[in-house]
Amino acid sequence: MAQDQANEPERVFNMYKKMLLIRAFEEAAGENFHAGNVRGSVHQYIGEEAIAVGICANLRKEDLLTSYHRGHGHSIAKGADPRAMMLELFGRVGGTSGGKGGSMHIADFSVGMLGANGVIADGCTISVGAAQAIKLLKQDKIVVNFIGDGGINRGPFMEALNWAKIYNLPVLFVCENNQIAATTTTKTVTAGEGIAARAESYGIPAITIDGNDLLLVDNTSARIIDEIRSGSGPQLIQAMTYRLRGHFAHDKALYRIPGEAEAALEFEPVRRTESWLITQGISEEELANARDEAEQTISQYVVDAHAAPWPDIADAFTDVQDVGAPQVGVNS
Amino acid sequence: MTEMTYAQAARLGLKEELERDPTVWALGEDLGFEGGMAGQYKDLQAEYGADRIVDTPISEATIMGAAIGAALAGTRPIAELRFSDFAMCAVDELVNQAAKARYMFGGQARVPMVARMPIGIRGGIAAQHSQSPEAWYAHVPGLVVVTPATPSDNRGLLKAAIRCDDPVVYMEHKGLWGSVGEVNENDVEPLTLGKARIVKEGSDLTIVTWAGMVSVVEKAAITLSEEGVSTEVIDLRTLWPWDREAVFSSVIKTGRMMVVHEAVQVGGFGGEISSEVTEHLFDNLKGPVKRMGGARIPIPFSIPLEESYMISQEQVIAKARSFF
């Protein structure tokens, strides 16, 4: 843990509980994927929770956030309702998108979460545009764009960095560097010194931190977000982390060096936060209770998701467009 | 009535919307000093500021993507892509994000933006600056596709596109920038998207067309009518939605239809209209529906080669005569 942090144990404990909620959600999502209850693709955020929670603890409800395919953690951290998210994963009525989006299109606009995204780095360009709207509307908000390390080799990321800088936009880019893009080790396909160097080449301040250190993420983002609110223009945080699971739930991650994932457990954020909380006088029992509470909460959402109705077929034809809208059952 | 060019009329429509709604803004390359490729943004930056008429880097993906983000965040951006050919650098953003955000987020989002991407041959700008890919976007659920053919329509349809809550692909024809027509400046209301314009009435043959081919077909229809083939010309104005009612009622009246468009005929939107008419009005037809589109070749540069691609008034007349 960071040596210079001054976090209140109560604040950290609350962040810890948020991390537990994300982890329980992701474990349940994976289990229900394997059980056949959740279809398509589920990209779990297990092992990376401290980044979303530490960053979002410093955001306001009205601040905006864009994410990528691994977006459950960002959504929960920003304040989206995990029950509605679980219903969405099950494709049911009451889901965040009414069952029309699923895991990769989780969104909750009521808390400024503008969507996970199935296309790598597309959130970057959406973010800078949202920030331009904020300036035009003279609003006091910022935009946070989460991106993975695989995304930094796409053009839209580099275009968006340039764009954010030339218009001095209130955007925080957060690269969650879990060091592997799907199954390919990122550094084998990335020239130069990597993401922070790329941002700096555009004149964007960039910092690399241990993303599994919740207190460090919290403190660093508190300072940087404050600067962005004060008009610093865009900044970038590269948060180093490790994906404890495969790229998606059905990926057994056989490309890992044997023993690598086991070794990484020592540095994973939930345990590290627990160790710190114990030094602050939080008891093992309190931690166990918090874990139980998160797991029970999510278990209930799974029960709710099983019980929720399937969407009506007619729902497939709504919210396409107003002008030239489709009619149910008409293909032309 | 005031005479003005297609480009001037578009500028007037945009200026009226900028004046009316402070959340309307435009972003693209060379909008300030140049005022857009045809002056369709001329002097608007001086009047409305660099935050509302935004000069951007050559970053098409972000011109489109930023417009989407700005639309999601409560404004009405116009993304100027200059050429539909260049807009292909931003098809992902338009198709995967703009067209689907509302749907895949279960109705939480609206993307009220205009993706402005001129189409068509202007003369000598060859294979990468002359294409007409309007059918691509008509194929994509979530998008509205507009193809104005006259100065008056380019004002009224642009205003409608800006006010539309759906993402609109707005395809002006580059060959029409300098064309002149009457515009009623006192009529400030937008047109209705999805309503075709009957350019000329007739009773023997219906010709459905849009964009740059409208004036060519109109002239051909005058000649045909003088020869005794009373020809009705329909300017679709919007490809999605396309005005089935106008087309169907015309075909029921005439019993003959052809579709004329500059875009490549194979896979062109004329095929969709032909197929719908054939499927639903077969008993009303006195002959097969006919299509005229471009050859399936890139647009060539040299004058005779480029002319060979284009559909002439004489070719339209000859094809129309083949019905009788």
Alpha-helix runs per DSSP H in chain A:
9-34, 49-56, 72-78, 82-89, 122-136, 155-166, 195-201, 214-229, 260-264, 269-279, 284-307
With a CB cutoff of 8 Å and minimum separation 6, the contacts of B108 are A96, A97, A107, A108, A109, A110, B102
Give the Cα separation of A327 and A40 in Å (integer).
27
Instruction: Quickly list DSSP for B28-89.
Output: ETT-SSS-STTSTTTTHHHHH-TTTEEE--S-HHHHHHHHHHHHHTT-EEEEE-SSHHHHGG
- Look at residues B153, B183, B213 and tell me which one is the last residue of a structural domain: B183
Instruction: From chain A, pick out residues whose CB is under 8 angstroms from the CB of B169.
Output: none
Q: How confident is the model at residue A3 (pLDDT cuts 50, 70, 90)?
A: very low
Query: For the residues A244-253, what does the mean pLDDT come to?
Result: 89
B8 and B66 share one domain = yes
A 38-67 residues with CB < 8 A to B:
64, 66
Facing B73 at nearest CB: one of A64, A97, A321: A64
B37 and B167 share one domain = yes
B110 in any annotated domain: yes
Calculate what percentage of chain A has a pLDDT beyond 90: 91
CA distances from A292 to A59, A166, A287, A288, A297 (A): 27, 48, 9, 6, 8
For A75-114, the pLDDT digits (tens) are 999 999 999 999 999 999 999 999 999 999 999 999 999 9
- Look at residues B117, B149, B183 and tell me which one is the last residue of a structural domain: B183
Query: In chain B, whose CA is at the least distance from the CA of A168?
Result: B51
- Residue B25 touches chain A, beta carbons under 8 Å: yes
Instruction: Quickly list DSSP for B210-223.
Output: -TTHHHHHHHHHHH
* pLDDT higher than 70, residue A61: yes
The answer to whether B70 contacts A129, with C-beta atoms less than 8 Å apart, is: yes
Q: What is the mean pLDDT of chain B?
A: 98
**Predicted pLDDT of residue A6:** 59
For A160-173, the pLDDT digits (tens) are 999 999 999 999 99
Identify residue B58 by its one-letter amino acid code.
Answer: I
- Residue B70 touches chain A, beta carbons under 8 Å: yes
**Contact yes or no for B221/B208 (Cβ under 8 A):** no
A 79-98 residues with CB < 8 A to B:
95-98
Place of tokens 């468009």: B261
Instruction: Quickly list DSSP for A119-161.
Output: STTHHHHHHHHHHHHHHHTT----EEEEEEGGGGGSHHHHHHH
B144 and B88 share one domain = yes
Q: How confident is the model at residue A331 (pLDDT cuts 50, 70, 90)?
A: confident
Q: What six digits make up the tokens of B201?
A: 């009435």
**Predicted pLDDT of residue A330:** 87
**Contact yes or no for A141/A64 (Cβ under 8 A):** yes
B 128-147 residues with CB < 8 A to A:
141-144
B258 in any annotated domain: yes
- Residue B23 touches chain A, beta carbons under 8 Å: yes
Query: For the residues A39-66, what does the mean pLDDT come to?
Result: 97
For B20-40, the pLDDT digits (tens) are 999 999 999 999 999 999 999
B191 in any annotated domain: no
The answer to whether A122 contacts B65, with C-beta atoms less than 8 Å apart, is: yes
Query: For the residues A244-264, what does the mean pLDDT come to?
Result: 89
Q: How confident is the model at residue A1 (pLDDT cuts 50, 70, 90)?
A: very low
**Predicted pLDDT of residue A75:** 98
B169 and B216 share one domain = no
Where along chain A do its domains lie? 9-306
The answer to whether B61 contacts A132, with C-beta atoms less than 8 Å apart, is: no
Angle at which helix A155-166 crosses helix A122-136, to 10 degrees, equals: 20
B8 and B144 share one domain = yes
Give the total number of structural domains in chain B. 2
Q: What six digits make up the tokens of B101?
A: 């955000």
B144 and B26 share one domain = yes
For A144-194, the pLDDT digits (tens) are 999 999 999 999 999 999 999 999 999 999 999 999 999 999 999 999 998
Residue range(s) defining the domain that contains residue B6: 2-183
Residue B314, domain CATH: 3.40.50.920
Q: How confident is the model at residue B173 (pLDDT cuts 50, 70, 90)?
A: very high
B140 and B276 share one domain = no
Query: For the residues B123-149, what does the mean pLDDT come to?
Result: 97
Cis peptide bond upstream of B241, omega within 30: yes
Q: What is the mean pLDDT of chain A?
A: 95
ipTM for the whole predicted complex goes beyond 0.90 = yes
B133 and B236 share one domain = no
B204 in any annotated domain: yes
Query: For the residues B239-267, what does the mean pLDDT come to?
Result: 98
A 161-180 residues with CB < 8 A to B:
162-163, 166-167
Determine whether B129 is an active site residue.
yes
B111 and B165 share one domain = yes
**CA-atom Rg of chain B in angstroms:** 19
**Predicted pLDDT of residue A332:** 81
Q: What's the CATH class of domain A9-306?
A: alpha beta
Query: For the residues B59-68, what does the mean pLDDT come to?
Result: 98
B224 in any annotated domain: yes
Q: What six digits make up the tokens of B145?
A: 């596709």
Instruction: From chain B, pick out residues whose CB is under 8 angstroms from the CB of A127.
Output: 69
B130 in any annotated domain: yes
B31 and B127 share one domain = yes
Identify residue A254 by its one-letter amino acid code.
Answer: L
* pLDDT higher than 80, residue A4: no
For B277-288, the pLDDT digits (tens) are 999 999 999 999
B286 and B208 share one domain = yes
